[in-house]
Amino acid sequence: MQDVVLELRQRGIRVGVVPTMGALHEGHLSLVRASRECCDRTIVTIFVNPTQFGPGEDFQKYPRTLESDLEAIRGCGADIAFVPSHEEMYPSGFSTYVEPPSVGARWEGECRPGHFRGVATVVLKLFQAIPAHVALFGRKDYQQCRVIQEMVRDLNVPVEVRVCPTVRESDGLAMSSRNRYLDPRDRQRALSLYRCLSTAMEAVAGGQRDGRLVVEAMHRTLRDGNVDRIDYAALVEPETLQPAGHLSRDVVAIVAAFVGTTRLIDNAAIHVPE
Ligand code: AMP
């Protein structure tokens, strides 16, 4: 893989990489299209990375749909699929990990201990295997984007990270490989996450500047929507992911909750006028 990419680079060809865990949907494909706009060749990686799953999480049952994934990425014009085996990524004796940056400490970092260590490690490994010019990630995983941006800066990784908008179903639900776990009743309840973000946006648009009150309203919306467990719902500063108290500049609303046994996350940028 390295030889292929280095040869392309030598020929002056611009390379984009889209890392995924497969079970591809329109969200992933939007990253492929964005890569095709800014690069001459697009490589999609498909690897269900065990080190980013905690004990008791869904690594075993995570959807694996390689044949239709390959068809989908071919259909939208990607050039290469990189589908490494477990042994290629984690050879016997593997013991080196990336310590994730401090933006990964809270929220997902607290709810899923070790998650960002696994993400940072596998993404750095993919960047080594595929020394692309541009790497594209979805804003759907906002904290993950911040973790990768900080890692790339801190460790001098020579890649440009691009963050692309969240792709949603027509009713607002953020697309996710995990949505296919939802039965029709859960699918309805899953909308609560989007409603929770809308609640926050409407409160701020209506002039509310007390972050605590907005967060209370977000929790109320989730409870009214009968989610099974709220991991967090918060307003945070876009760079640091620290909770925002008094709202005097733009923030990001973030939410994670269980619907049945399915854990979903979502987020939205909220503009706070001066
Ligand atoms: P995953 O396969 O879930 O690890 O996701 C691979 C990439 O696709 C990550 O950069 C995700 O943020 C991105 N992604 C997942 N869902 C969406 C979505 N609904 N909209 C945009 N990007 C997404």
* Cα-to-centroid distance, 209 and ligand 1 (Å): 31
pLDDT score recorded for residue 76: 97
- Domains 2-164 and 181-270 belong to one CATH topology: no
pLDDT score recorded for residue 260: 97
Q: Does the CB atom of residue 49 touch ligand 1 within 6 A? A: no
- The domain limits of the chain are 2-164, 181-270
From atom 14 of ligand 1, which residue's Cα is the shortest distance away? 138
Radius of gyration of the chain (CA): 19
The per-residue pLDDT for range 146-186, each reduced to its tens digit, is 999 999 999 999 999 999 999 999 999 999 999 999 999 99
Given a cut of 90, whether residue 274 has pLDDT beyond it is: no
DSSP string, 139-191: GGGHHHHHHHHHHHHHTT---EEEEEPPPB-TTSPBP-GGGGG--HHHHHHTH
Q: Does the CB atom of residue 101 touch ligand 1 within 6 A? A: no
- According to CATH, the topology of domain 2-164 is Rossmann fold (3.40.50)
Closest atom of ligand 1 to 137 CA is 10
Nearest to 101 by CA among 134, 156, 146: 146
33 or 273: which carries more pLDDT confidence? 33
* Cα-to-centroid distance, 174 and ligand 1 (Å): 10
pLDDT above 90 covers what percent of the chain? Answer: 99
Which of 24, 28, 119 maximizes ligand 1 atoms within 8 Å of its Cβ, making it the mutation to test the pocket? 28
CATH of 181-270, one of 3.30.1300.10, 3.50.50.60, 3.30.70.20, 3.30.70.141: 3.30.1300.10
Q: Does the CB atom of residue 174 touch ligand 1 within 6 A? A: yes
Predicted structure pTM score: 0.98
